[in-house]
A and B are shown apart, each in its own frame.
Chain A
Amino acid sequence: LGTTASKDEL
């Protein structure tokens, strides 16, 4: 699935 890196979104 995805990476935690893109948890910079609100």
Chain B
Amino acid sequence: MNIFRLAADMTHLISILVLLLKIHATRSCRGISLKTQDLYALVFLFRYLDLFTRYISLYNTVMKLVFLGTSFSIIYFMRFHRVVRNTYDKEQDTFRSIFIVVPCAVLALLINQERSVLEILWTFSIYLEAVAILPQLVLLQRTQNIDNLTGNYVFLLGTYRGLYILNWIYRYLTEPHYRQWIVWLSGVLQTGLYVDFFYYYFLAWRNNQKLSLP
């Protein structure tokens, strides 16, 4: 564990807490894409199947359980909570998840490290996480008056991905056998998807205006 990875994981955790805070405090999930949340739940579900087969550390196990629990509770609120579910912008959240799920599944079958079910599902989760933010970014572009908590949620997610790149550089330099091309390429692509968002986020911050994506 290095400082970049710890910072990345904590930023990821805080982003999820910010989203839960928004839902609790405002009783609203306005501007949040259920499609992205569904995809993240799928990502965690498939990636953390090794919870049952391999013990890495207490930190690792606890974080996996927290990510699984929080992602499913967010989906629960958005789908079933009496008040919150009515604030979901279903008409605006139109991205077709199938267009990213199928290519990621095909890619995982073709490009993986090992022909085993667990490994292919794990690889699928890596590819899927890289593009799972797309429905959220599309919804943000359509949302007038993005609220602060939603903007900060996406900002924290992007920061978490950026910190993971620093972690990989650090590990590449300090751990001779650490090579993960699938994870690195997917991660760099994923971080790239936030570049546009970051530009408008800082523009809004500098000009002291509300965030809006053109």
Contacts and interface: CB of A to CB of B under 8 A. Distances in A.
A7 B167 CA distance: 14
Given A1-B181, A1-B182, A7 B5 contact: no
Q: Dominant SS at the A interface?
A: loop
Interface string A1-10: 1111111111
Nearest to A9: B5
Given A7-B50, A7-B122, A2 B5 contact: no
Nearest to B171: A6
A6 B181 CA distance: 11
Contacts of B180: 1-3, 6
Interface in B150-208: 164, 167, 171, 177-183
B56 interface: yes
Contacts of B113: 1-2, 4
A10 B9 CA distance: 8
Contacts of B63: 10
A10 B64 contact: yes
A7 B183 CA distance: 10
B95 interface: no
Which among A1, A3, A6, A10 has the highest number of chain B CB atoms within 10 Å? A10
B12 A10 contact: yes
B56 A3 contact: no
Nearest 4 pairs of A and B residues by beta carbon: A2-B180, A1-B113, A6-B180, A8-B56
29 contacts: A1-B113, A1-B179, A1-B180, A1-B181, A1-B182, A2-B113, A2-B179, A2-B180, A2-B181, A2-B182, A2-B183, A3-B178, A3-B179, A3-B180, A5-B177, A6-B171, A6-B178, A6-B179, A6-B180, A6-B183, A7-B56, A8-B57, A9-B164, A9-B167, A9-B183, A10-B9, A10-B12, A10-B64, A10-B67
